[in-house]
Amino acid sequence: MAIMIQEELFRRGTSAESIIEHKKSGKLGAQQQEILSFLRGSNASITGRELANRLGIDGAWKRLPELERLGRVVRDGTRTCSVTGRRATSWRLSVR
């Protein structure tokens, strides 16, 4: 089993390693909850970089596709991000 995991990490690179460490540490769930809590209190959609900037969570934008797969957030179009100045996907809570 351990050999299979190591082989998979080798194929997928350090991103896979990072996500496994994040899950083990409990940070992944905590960051997701913090993001959801913030979005519950916000009426406007937000880009990933704006979210990271406001919450002070480096890489917060990486949690948004995970939350999308869980059905907790949805994409809300694209607009110019106030942090990067580039067009970016904006996100909001899903209606459940």
Query: What residue ranges do the domains of the chain occupy?
Result: 2-93
Residue 86, SS3?
A: coil
pLDDT number for residue 28:
61
CA–centroid distance for 55 within its chain: 12
Q: Which residue has the tokens 């209606």?
A: 95
The structure's pTM equals 0.70
- The angle at the Cα of 27, spanning 40 to 49, to the nearest 5 degrees, equals 55
Domain 2-93 has CATH 1.20.58.190: no
pLDDT number for residue 36:
94
pLDDT number for residue 35:
95
Residue 6, C-beta contacts closer than 8 angstroms, at least 6 positions apart: none
What are the pLDDT digits (tens) for 5-55?
Answer: 455 545 555 555 655 665 666 656 889 999 999 999 988 899 999 999 999
CB 90 within 8 A of CB 75: yes
